[in-house]
Amino acid sequence: MRVLPLGGIGEIGKNMTILEYEDKLLIVDVGLRFPTAEMVGIDLVLPDFSYLRGRVDDIEGIVITHGHEDHLGALPWVLRELRAEGAELPPIFGAPLTMAMARSKLDEHRLKDLDVEDVKAGEHLELGPFDVELIHMTHSIPDAVAVAVTTDVGTVLITGDYKFDQTPVDGKPADIARLAQLGADGLLLLCGDSTNADRPGFSPSESGVGPHLEQTFARCEGRIVVTCFASNIHRVQQVVDAAEQLGRKVALLGRSMRKNVNIGKSLGHIDVPDGMLVQPREIDSFPDEKLVIVSTGSQGEPLSALRRMAFSDHPQVELRRGDTIVFAATPIPGNERAVNETIDRLFHIGTTVITARDAPIHASGHGYAEELKLMLNLTKPTYVMPFHGDYKRLELHGKLAEAVGVPAENIFKGENGLPLELNAKGARFGKPERAGMVFVDGVEIGDVADVALRDRRMLSADGIFVVVATISEQDGTSVAEPEVIFRGVPFPDEAENLLDDIRDTVDKSLARAAKEGVHENDVVQGMLHDDLAQLVYERLRRRPMVLPVVVEV
Strand partners, 484: 467
The angle, 0 to 180 degrees and rounded to 10, between the axes of the packed helices 369-379 and 176-185 is 50
Please answer whether residues 338 and 300 qualify as being in contact, where contact means their C-beta atoms are separated by less than 8 angstroms: yes
CATH architecture observed for domain 463-552? Roll (3.10)
Strand partners, 33: 45
Q: Rounded distance, CA 321 to CA 364, Å?
A: 30
Q: Rounded distance, CA 45 to CA 435, Å?
A: 13
Q: Rounded distance, CA 356 to CA 161, Å?
A: 21
481, 487, 491, 495 alpha-carbon torsion, rounded to 10°: -20
What local confidence, expressed as pLDDT, does residue 133 receive? 97
SS3 (DSSP) at 63: strand
Strand partners, 47: 437
CATH of 2-201+364-445, one of 3.60.15.10, 3.30.420.40, 3.10.450.50, 3.30.1490.20: 3.60.15.10
Please answer whether residues 388 and 29 qualify as being in contact, where contact means their C-beta atoms are separated by less than 8 angstroms: no
Q: What is the DSSP letter of 159?
A: -
Please answer whether residues 208 and 246 qualify as being in contact, where contact means their C-beta atoms are separated by less than 8 angstroms: no
What local confidence, expressed as pLDDT, does residue 532 receive? 83
CATH superfamily entry for domain 206-354: Metallo-hydrolase/oxidoreductase (3.40.50.10710)
Q: Rounded distance, CA 517 to CA 515, Å?
A: 5
208, 211, 213, 217 alpha-carbon torsion, rounded to 10°: -170
The angle, 0 to 180 degrees and rounded to 10, between the axes of the packed helices 498-515 and 521-540 is 150
Q: Quick check: pTM over 0.75?
A: yes
| Cα–Cα distance list, 349 to 336, 345, 415 (Å) | 20, 6, 44
Q: Which residues are catalytic?
A: 193, 366
Q: What is the mean pLDDT of each run of 10 residues along the chain (553 residues)?
A: 96 94 97 75 83 93 95 93 86 96 92 93 96 96 96 97 94 96 97 96 93 93 92 91 94 91 92 91 91 91 87 91 92 82 94 92 94 98 96 97 97 96 94 88 54 58 77 71 75 65 82 77 81 81 78 74
Burial status of residue 66 (CB atoms within 10 A of its CB: 0-12, 13-18, 19 or more): buried
**Domain regions of the chain by residue span:** 2-201+364-445, 206-354, 463-552
Burial status of residue 357 (CB atoms within 10 A of its CB: 0-12, 13-18, 19 or more): exposed
Phi, psi of 171 (to 5 degrees): 75, 15
| Cα–Cα distance list, 224 to 210, 246, 250, 402, 515 (Å) | 15, 12, 10, 46, 74
What local confidence, expressed as pLDDT, does residue 448 receive? 46
What local confidence, expressed as pLDDT, does residue 6 receive? 96
